[in-house]
Amino acid sequence: MNLLDLFARRASMPGSGRALPGRAEPITTPGAHFVNGRPIAGPYPDGIRTAVFGLGCFWGAERAFWKAPGVYVTAVGYAGGETPNPTYDEVCSGQTGQNEVVLVAYDPKVTSYEALVKLFFESHDPTQGMRQGNDVGTQYRSGIYVADADERATAVHVRDAYAAELAKRGYGDITTEIADRGPFYFAEDYHQQYLAKNPGGYCGLGGTGVACPVGVGVAAA
C-alpha cells in the first residue's frame, strides 16, 4: 500500500457492516478527574448537563473545555461510529467509524450550550475534513453530537454564524458533522486529562484565530 492509498483509507469511513465488532463490556470505568478531583463518570449533581464534541486529538480538546467557566468535569472518549466499546488502537485503525471526542458536563446556571459550541469552533479549524493539523484520520473529524432539537438548532446557528466569518477571511466551507448523539464510550484511563498528567505532551490542536460572533449568555433558570 503506497502513501496515497494509506491516506485515503485513513480519511474514509468504514462501509456499512464493515466496522470492527468491538465488545459488550466497557474497556474502563474512570475514577476521579485528575485536575479537579470530581467523578468523571458521575453521578453528577442535579441540574448538570452534558455535551459531546469532536475537534481533533482529544488530549488538547479536553484541556480547552476543562478550563472553561461553568464546566463541572470533562472526559475523553469515542462517539459517532459503529464499533461498541472500542480501544484506542481500534479507533486509530480507521475501522470503527468512531471519533475522538470530549464529554463536557456543565452547569447551565453558569454557562450555556451556545457558549460551549462557540468555544468548540474557536478551538480548532472546522474546515479540514477528516483531519486536524498534522493528525489525519476519521477519528480527528470535527463533530457536534446533539441530544435534542434545541441543541441541534443551537449548533446549526453557531456554525452558520462562524462560517460567514471564516468565509470573509478566505477559509473554505465548514466540514463539522452535526449528528444525533449516540453512545459515548470512555477512553482508556491514561488518555483522561492527558495534558495535565503530561504537561509537555503533544498537542496539535490550534484554532483559526477568528472569533465566533455569537453571544455567550446563560440560559434562564
- For the entire predicted model, the pTM comes to 0.93
User: Would you give the DSSP letter of residue 72?
Assistant: E
Inside any domain, residue 79: yes
91, part of any domain: yes
**Do the Cβ atoms of 13 and 171 come closer than 8 Å?**
no
Which residue, 86, 68, 61, is CA-closest to 195? 61
Of the candidates 107, 106, 110, 89, the residue with the CA atom closest to the CA atom of residue 98: 89
What average pLDDT does the structure give for the chain? 94
Q: How many CB atoms lie within 10 A of CB 112?
A: 20
- Whole-number pLDDT of residue 118: 99
Q: What pLDDT does residue 3 have?
A: 40
User: Which cell is 133 given?
Assistant: 493539523
Confidence of residue 1 (pLDDT cuts 50, 70, 90): very low
How many independent structural domains does the chain possess?
1
* R_g of the chain, CA atoms, integer Å: 17
- Which residues constitute the domain of residue 184? 39-197
Select which of 57, 92, 203, 212 is catalytic.
57
pLDDT, position 7: 46
Strand partners, 55: 142
Are residues 182 and 144 in contact, defined by beta-carbon separation less than 8 angstroms? Answer: no
Which pLDDT value is given to residue 220? 47
Sheet of strand 71-79: strand arrangement: 177-180, 142-146, 49-55, 99-106, 71-79, 185-186
Q: Which helix (H) or strand (E) holds 154?
A: helix 149-168
* Domain contains 150: yes
Residue with cell 500500500: 1
Question: In the structure grid, which three cell numbers stand for residue 129, read together?
Answer: 475534513
Is 141 part of a structural domain of the chain? yes
pLDDT on residue 73: 99
- Give domain status of residue 99, yes or no: yes
pLDDT band for position 186 (cuts 50, 70, 90): very high
| Cell 477568528 found at | 210
User: Has residue 146 been placed in a domain?
Assistant: yes
Q: In this predicted model, what pLDDT tens digit does every residue of 87-113 receive, in sequence order?
A: 999 999 999 999 999 999 999 999 999
Residue 88 in any domain: the answer is yes
Structural domain contains residue 1: no
57 is catalytic: yes
Is the predicted pLDDT of residue 22 greater than 80, yes or no?
Answer: yes
CATH, residue 165: 3.30.1060.10
DSSP 9: H
